[in-house]
Chains A and B, each alone.
Chain A
Amino acid sequence: MNGERALVFDGVTVRYEPDAAPVLAGVTFSLAAGERAALVGLNGSGKTTLLMAAVGLVGHEGRILVCGTPVARRTAAAVRDKVGFLFNVPEDQLLFPKVIEDAAFGPLRRGEERTEAYRRAGAVLDDLGVGELAEWPLHHLSHGQKQRVALAGALVTRPPLLLLDEPSAGLDPPGKMALARLLGGLGAAMLVATHDLKFAERLCRRFIVLDGGRILHDGGDAAAVQRTWGMEE
């Protein structure tokens, strides 16, 4: 990417209704290639909206760039090819009846050969600890297992930017540790919206705190997050 930023938000405002209060208000930050940041904030602070805005799922004022491409209706497909996205409810993004089919869809739609796509999808499922479920129907999986399969679908194409909404939700403690290790070794830039501070600290060195649609804190001090939440010891 020649040093270009993986994600740029420049004065981004999002409103769901024209006259309503903004859900995001003048948000400005950027992520370098390979940088990992945790996006934290109370419920309703705008975390999910920010992730959705980054892939053009909600309209915005201001400027958003993904790997140098401005996010707009006409560039939506190009932007989404560069992003691995994890929704906070895994069932929402699992579109195929069998685990391996869902995980392999990304590479297949990019024209990869079928055997290779299935091999890669199998390898990612293995890394996430659900390789033995490859042939299972999705409706037989637990929430945590679905979460991992949805993650596999986001990771399998090795996108340069990952936008992950609550990736550790529903995972058991060993699963969370393994996930943090796996994500930490990927080399992709990632913005991780989470309420799980331990997971965030394990994975990220930067913490962006949202409050009422504005950035309250942006830095490497995890304790500042606890202070803003009134959680300091």
Chain B
Amino acid sequence: MRTPWHDMWGCGRGPAGRLAPQTRILAGAILFAAGLTSPAGTVPGIALAAATTLGWITACGMPRRAARSFVFLGLAMFLPYFLLVPVLMKGRAFAPDWAGLARVIAAPWDVFLHGLAGMLVAAATVTALSASDLRRGLLALPVPRVVAAVLIQIVHQTAELLAETGRVAAALAVRGASGGGRAALRVLTSLPRVWLPRIIGRADRVAAAMEIRGYAETDLRVLGRSTIGLADFAVVIAVLGLLVLAAALRWRWIG
């Protein structure tokens, strides 16, 4: 069973793909931080968050369809915060008070801008990294080996878990979960009892396989290392510059 989420990994065809995997991970993380640091209440801050996000999406060559999906997901996740505005306005004067309105909107706007920018940067980074790149990149960064190994397996096993979930969902549909009414409710409420034991059993068996194959005690760098060049240094310095700029705008070191 193919899972669209897993096909996202490494589907980008942008120039960032030519960088070493560790550079792509690092640059994605720094740009994520830059997006979060940019002040959402000033035009330069908004412009910087937008520019870093769009620039990284382009550099990663994120497919348009994926970008569109994530924008819609971001809108669905972060726009509802604006529903809090009437609650926050309660008790204020009925007459329009633009300064007051701006103050009330500032909080949901902050969440919206930073959430959307962070989500898009993270998704773009995923499209610039295949699962193998992720392994090589993580192992080249100063990430504890156990953490790296667990992260790598989480990403790898996600495809199988999604497929497993798909099979459970298909079985539920066949057995009446999509038929509506009480039968559907009964089958749906049994989902945790069906799905969880399967996943736990699977985790047990994967752990046994890891033990037999010597996964835990092997330095996974034997599968291949990546080298870094001048372009990698240049990119890291450039994105660090953007992070410093975002910090300068936020804490008013400039302007």
List residues of A whose CB falls within 8 A of some B CB: 52, 55, 57, 76-77, 80-81, 83, 85, 87, 89, 91-93, 95-98, 101, 104-106, 108-109, 114, 137-140, 153
Contacts and interface: CB of A to CB of B under 8 A. Distances in A.
A80 B212 contact: yes
B212 A140 contact: no
A55 B212 CA distance: 8
A95 B156 contact: yes
A108 B217 CA distance: 13
Nearest to B10: A137
Given A97-B131, A105-B213, A87 B205 contact: yes
B185 interface: no
A80 B217 CA distance: 13
5 contacts: A57-B211, A93-B206, A105-B223, A109-B213, A109-B218
B99 interface: no
Contacts of B163: 139
A139 B208 CA distance: 20
Contacts of A109: 213-214, 218, 222
Contacts of B202: 89, 91-92
A52 B212 CA distance: 10
Binding site secondary structure of chain B: helix
Interface of B: 2-3, 6, 9, 130-132, 135, 153, 155-156, 159-160, 163, 202, 205-206, 208-215, 217-218, 222-224
Given A57-B212, A139-B160, A101 B223 contact: yes
A139 B159 contact: yes
A95 B215 contact: yes
A83 B153 CA distance: 23
Contacts of B3: 139
A89 B203 CA distance: 12
B213 A108 contact: no
A114 B210 contact: no
Nearest to A89: B205
